[in-house]
Structure 1
Amino acid sequence: MNLPVVSGKPLKKNSERHPEVSLMINKIVYSSVQSPLGDMIAGATDKGICFLEWHDRGGVERILSRVEKRYKKPLEENVSEHLLKLQNELDNYFDGTLSGFEVPIDVNGTEFENIVWSELLNIPYAETRSYGEIALELGKPGASRAVGRANGSNYLSIVIPCHRVIESNGKLRGYGGGLKRKKYLLDLEFKNFSRLNSMKSKVSYKM
């Protein structure tokens, strides 16, 4: 599948739109975005980014079909302001100059999934949490498996940092993009946090 590629060049102001920017009225605009770990596919509603997945995870068509059913909106291959901002922030994240995303997001999970995803956003850059720790934070100490399922259902890779969730023994556990990518993201954050803050990070995991 050939998708439009986001250039990564930030918009200067609203009146100077990218020539291919879509108005995104009652639809989801999607395109490929680039990363050092491989191409990703991203989509956005008029409210914000609604999915960001690795291009090789389960097949692009399958991902798009799930998103279309979840949001009940048609899909359009195009570029939007949200997608341009996302690519720019991803570039900065992988360059080690950005620790928190500011691009708007538009999540649409179950009530429990939304609660878990909100808690994932509270995990600081270059830190990790176990599934059990997240369950405790939610006041549901016996729900670590349910937390794991919600974590695996996260459609916004990297932006909602499900890669920062590990097992209680410190080992890495399943990640949609693969454990090599998960390790890369954690190592990237650890290295840049230490460099930028000149202090020891709390990242800790075992292979």
Structure 2
Amino acid sequence: MITTESKEKLYQALLERNAEYEGVFFVGVITTGIFCRPTCPARKPKLENCEFYQTAQQALLASYRPCQRCRPLSHPNHETELVRMLVDAVEGNPEKRWKDADLQGLSVDPSTARRHFKKRFGMTFVEYARARRMGVAMKHIRAGDKVIDTQISTGYESSSGFRDAFSRIMGEPPTSNKQTQVLYASWLDTELGPMIAIADEHALYLLEFVDRRGLEKEIERLRFRNNSAIVPGETEPIRLIEQELKEYFTGSLKAFTTPVHFIGTPFQKRVWEQLRNIAFGDKITYTKVAEQIGKPTAFRAVANANGTNQLAIIVPCHRVIREDGNLAGYGGGMHRKRWLLEHEEKRS
């Protein structure tokens, strides 16, 4: 988490074009919609128009596109022609879902693209394209109902192009089908990075870190199972969870009261309800959870249900570990699971 104090230091490094900060941070410029490296030669924005990120992937997911002058997705003066070509290809159609066949159509071997991107900036080409695609939707969510100058912010020739890109991920607004339910999505900044919250007027349906792998599929399942369209906005459950998360991260809240709505099988719902009974600061095994729901041999099914939890932190799947004490996996990333467990242990 980048604090206010550290933002001022990073901004000073940006003004000085301090090469020692290369790889330490990236800066997103709110007024232009681009992100840059610390040594970018472009005119410097005001501090209030800057957002700082520790990785390029975070900047992409926050809706920023890479600067064409400083090329933040490559090492200084060391960008391969392949990387440049693929980045330009993604920028030409940011909402595209890239497949191996698309790369082969460009005469690019998928494994070569994966290796080059991984070597250059720590994520594969598919991860880069996904982050850029999700960033299109996240920009709409962050902006809420504000009118967006899409020609500057996203490179689209019209606002309809931007809306089309958003709707491919979040679903069409329910203008023609009156039976479609409307859900609202908001961007929440937290101690462990931005999260997306989706809710109706009564309950929270989804709370996830925006860089979670498979988030698009989660949103897609939510839309189809609930016959929903998702639009930017706030509801009372979203306002409540935003406040409760702030209190949780400061250590003053140990149990969430935000109403939630589970979408899953009866077995999954049973597991998720049981997970909510794990006390703050405690850890439990998959086998123990299986025993508690009366299915002692179903520990693998419990693990699967644990992995499909769509309400991060509220349904504390991070408190479930293996029999040998291994932390196992976590959809939000192992670094977050460790942080959450340590945070709760200190305050329990």
Which TM-score band applies after superposition, normalised by the shorter structure?
0.7 to 0.9
| 1:185 corresponding residue in structure 2 | 340
* In 2, Cα distance between equivalents of 1:79 and 1:135: 36
Q: Match for 2:324 among 169, 172, 178?
A: 169
Q: CA RMSD in A?
A: 1.6
Partner-residue secondary structure (3-state), 2:282 = coil
Do structure 1's residue 78 and structure 2's residue 229 form an aligned pair?
no
- 4+ residue stretches of structure 1 with deviation over 6 A? none
Match of 1:123 among 261, 275, 278: 278
Match of 1:14 in 2: none
In the TM superposition, residue 77 of structure 1 has moved relative to its aligned partner by: 1.0
Equivalent pair of 1:30/1:43 in contact (CA under 8 Å): yes
Task: Point out the structure with max Rg over C-alpha.
Answer: 2
1:135 and 2:306 correspond: no
Distance in 2 (alpha carbons) for counterparts of 1:50 and 1:5: 21
Higher RCO (CA-CA < 8 Å; seq separation 6+) = 1
Which residue pairs with 1:39 in the alignment? Answer: 194
For the Cα contact (< 8 Å) 1:4–1:79, is it kept in 2?
no
Structure 1 distance, partners of 2:326, 2:143, is 35
Q: How far apart, CA to CA, are the structure 1 residues paired with 2:303 and 2:214?
A: 22
Pick one of 254, 257, 268 that aligns with 1:99. 254
- Alpha-carbon distance in 2 for matches of 1:59, 1:31: 18
Question: What is residue 142 of structure 2 aligned with on the other side?
Answer: 4
Deviation at 1:5? 6.9
CA-CA distance at 1:31 after TM superposition: 1.1
The one-letter code sitting in structure 1 at the alignment partner of 2:320 is V
Q: Percent identity?
A: 38
The verdict on how the C-alpha distance between 1:59 and 1:119 changes in structure 2, with shifts beyond 3 A counting, is closer
Q: Quote the offset at 1:34 in angstroms.
A: 1.3
C-alpha contact (below 8 Å) 1:126/1:190 kept by paired residues:
yes
Report which of the two has the higher share of helix.
Answer: 2
* 1: CA distance, partners of 2:143 / 2:197: 10
Provide structure 2 residue ranges, at least 5 long, that are not aligned to the other structure.
Answer: 1-135, 145-179
- The structure-2 alpha-carbon separation of the partners of 1:97 and 1:63, relative to structure 1 and needing over 3 Å to count, comes to same
Could you tell me how far apart the structure 2 residues matched to 1:62 and 1:107 are? 16
Residues 1:62 and 2:217 aligned together: yes
1:44-83 superposed Cα distances (whole Å, 9 cap, x missing partner): 0233111001100126543322221122211111111111
> 1:126 & 1:5 partners in 2: Cα distance?
36
Q: Is the 8 A contact 1:5 1:32 kept in 2?
A: no
For residues 139-150 of structure 1, the aligned pairs below 5 Å read 139-150=294-305
Q: Distance in 2 between matches of 1:122 and 1:59?
A: 26
Contact kept in structure 2, 1:4 and 1:78, CA below 8 Å: no
User: Hey, what does 1:27 align to over in structure 2?
Assistant: 182
Q: Is the 8 A contact 2:205 2:262 kept in 1?
A: yes
Whole-angstrom CA distance in 1 between matches of 2:336 and 2:300:
22
Paired residue secondary structure (1:27): strand
How many residues end up aligned between the 2 structures?
175
Q: 2:290 matched to 1:152?
A: no
Distance, in Å, in 2 between the alignment partners of 1:169 and 1:60 is 29
- Measured in 1, the distance between the counterparts of 2:327 and 2:224 equals 31
Cα deviation for residue 27 of structure 1 reads 1.4
Q: Deviations over 1:64-115 (max 9, x none)?
A: 2222112221111111111111110000000000000011111111110000
